[in-house]
Amino acid sequence: MAKLYTLIKNATVVSMEGSPQAVLEECDILIENDRIKAIGQQISAPTDEETITIDATDCIVTPGFVDGHHHMWQHLLRGLTVDWSLYGYCCHLRSVYGSLYTPDDVYFANYAASLSLLNNGVTTVLDHCHVINSPAHADAAVKGLKDAGIRGTFCYGFYPNPPVPGDMASAANDKFSPVARLEDAARVRQQYFADNEVDNSLITFGVALNEPPLVSREDNVAELDASRKLGARIITVHTSVMPGDIVKGEVIQNFSTAGRMAPDLVFSHGAYMTKDEMQALQQSGAGVVGTPDTELQMGMGYPVVWKALDQGCRACLGLDITSNQGNDFIVQMRLALQTQRARQLDRKVAQLLPRKTADAMRLATLGGAEVMQMESSIGSVTAGKKADLVIFRCDDIDTVPVVDPIGTVVFHASPKNIETVIVNGKIVKRDGKLVGVDWASLSGQVKARSQRLRDDAAKVDMTNAENLFKAAFEKGMEEAPITSF
C-alpha cells in the first residue's frame, strides 16, 4: 500500500521533550502515514511518493493538546450555565437536562464537541460520558466521537440520570438498572473496542464511575472492580470537589484502603484532597485533572495541578463543562498558571515567578498524555510517536515579535492563530478551517436541539431537586474544615 507523507517545512517546533523543553528553530517534520518519521533541518520526503507539503515559516508547531476531563454531551447547552455554581449545575444538568437527552442529541453533541475541540487544537480527549440513559445513547456517543476523527478515551458513565426529570428518586426504578448498564458496557466494549490498544485505535474504552454519595463506598469499589473486569483502559471519577470532602475521604481514601489504587485511575478536580490521598495518588501512579475554568467558577477550589506536580503526581488540565465556557485550551493554561502565581505572590516580593509558562504547556500536552497512559504514543513532537500536531501561524499583529515561542503560544496566541491541526497523521483543520464538515447542517442541528432541551427543561418542577441538593451542599459545607493542606 502506498504510504502517505506530509512534510512540514521551516517551523519553530516546541517539542515538549527534555527539561527545559526543547525549542527547535528552522525545523522540518516528516510524517509517514500516522506517525512522525523524522524531525530536523532540510528533511525531504521520498521523491516517488505523493507528499503534502506545508510551509510553516513564521509558524510554531506544538503537540496537540490533551483534555483530561470533558462532558462532551453538554455541548448543546453552551452558554446556559455561565453564572451557575456547582449546586445549580447539579440540580439542573444532572437531574433534568441529562434526562431529556435523546440518543440523537448525544450524537450531535459529541460530534460537534469533538469538532470544536479539534478547532481549538485539542487532539485527545477523555469523554466522561454520564448521559447514557439507554444502550442507544451509548452507541450514539461513540459514533459522535468516531465520526469527528478525534483521539481519546470514551468513558462509559455509570451515572443514572433520573428517568423522571427533576425526580432523583425515580432513578431507583429505572429499567436501565445498574446490572443492565454493566451488561451494556460489556457489549459496547466488545462491539466497538475489541482492540482497546492506544496504538491501534483512535478511540479506546474506559469507564466513568459514580461518585459518593450517589453510591456507597462499597458499591464504588464494586463498580471499580467491574470496570477492570470489562477491560476498561481508563477509569475516571470526580474526586474531592467540595471542602466537606476532606473529612469524608470518600473516593481516593476509600480506594486506597481497599487496595485498589493503580495507574488506570484518572481523578478529576481534587482540590480538597488530603495529604494522605495525595500520597496514595503519587505512589499508585494514578493521575489527576484540574479544570481551571469550571473549578474557579463553581466553588470547586483552586486547581490542584501544581500541588500534585510538587508531590510527584501525574497531572493535567481539562475543560469539563462547556455549557460554562468554550473549548479554548490556551485559556486553561493561563488560568491555571496565573491563579497559582496570584496565590504564591500574595504579599511577597520576587523578581521571577515561581511557576513557569513551559510547565503550563507541559500540563496541557505531555502531562495529559501521562495521565491518560498514552505518553509512549502522543504528547510530544518526537520521531516514532503518532503525528498529533498543532500549527500556530504567528506573523500577525497579536503575535509579532516571537521572543519566546512557548510564551507566544500560552500568552499571545489564541485559537484564531491555529492554522492547521493534524490527528494521527491526518489533516483535520487546514488554513484555519475544519476539513470535511457540513457546518450549515450541523449548526442547524445544534441550535434546534438546544432550543428543544431548554424548552422541555423549563416545564420541569424543580422544587424537590433544589431542596435535595441544597441540603446536601449545606451539609457538605458544615462539615468542612477551615483550611486544607
Nearer to Zn ion, 217 or 269 (CB): 269
Site string for Zn ion, 320-339 (x = CB under 5 A): x-------------------
Which among 51-59, 228-236, 312-320, 336-344 is the span making contact with Zn ion, rule CB under 5 A? 312-320
As measured in angstroms, the least distance from the Cβ of 87 to Zn ion is 15
Residue nearer to Zn ion on the CB measure, 196 or 322: 322
Paired strand residues for 237 = 267
The Cα angle at residue 129 between residues 139 and 68, in degrees rounded to 5: 125
Residue carrying C-alpha cell 500541588: 307
Kindly write down the DSSP assignment for every residue of 242-289, as one continuous string.
Answer: STTHHHH--SHHHHHHTT---TTEEEEE-TT--HHHHHHHHHHT-EEE
CB of 230 to Zn ion, least distance (A): 21
Q: Interacting stretch for Zn ion, rule CB under 5 A, among 171-179, 314-322, 414-422, 450-458?
A: 314-322
Rounded Cα gap, residues 164 and 219, in angstroms: 24
Nearer residue to Zn ion within complex by CB, 73 or 392: 73
Q: Where are the beta strands (DSSP E) in 298-373?
A: 314-317
Stretch of residues binding Zn ion (CB under 5 A), selected from 79-87, 119-127, 154-162, 317-325? 317-325
Cβ closer to Zn ion: 130 or 355? 130
Name the DSSP class of 409. I
CB of 69 to Zn ion, least distance (A): 6
Nearest residue (CB) to Zn ion, 244 versus 270: 270
Burial of residue 413 (CB within 10 Å: 0-12, 13-18, 19+) is: buried
- Burial 205-228, CB ≥16 within 10 A → b, else e: bbbbbbbbebbebeebbebbebbe
Write out the H or E segment, with its range, that includes residue 118. Answer: helix 103-119
- Taking the least distance from each CB to Zn ion, the nearer of 363 and 423 is 363
CB 423 within 8 A of CB 150: yes
3-state SS class at 8: strand
Q: Residues in contact with Zn ion, total (CB under 5 A)? A: 1
Place of cell 424537590: 464
Question: Of 12-20, 211-219, 319-327, 458-466, which segment contacts Zn ion by CB under 5 A?
Answer: 319-327
* 277-285, 313-321, 359-367, 406-414 -> range binding Zn ion (CB under 5 A): 313-321
Site residues for Zn ion, 209-238, by CB under 5 A, read: none
- Name the DSSP letter for residue 412: I
Question: In terms of CB distance, is 392 or 473 closer to Zn ion?
Answer: 473
Binding mask 128-147 vs Zn ion (x if CB under 5 A, - otherwise)? --------------------
Sign of CA dihedral 218, 220, 223, 224: negative
**Shortest Cβ distance from residue 21 to Zn ion (Å)?**
29
**Residues in 48-107 that interact with Zn ion by CB under 5 A:** none
Binding marks (x or -) toward Zn ion, 263..302, rule CB under 5 A? ----------------------------------------
Strand partners, 257: none
Question: How far apart are CB 239 and Zn ion at their closest, in Å?
Answer: 10
Stretch that binds Zn ion, among 97-105, 213-221, 318-326, 343-351 (CB under 5 A): 318-326
The set of cell numbers assigned to 238 is 470526580
Residue nearest to Zn ion (CB): 320
Give residues in contact with Zn ion (CB under 5 A): 320
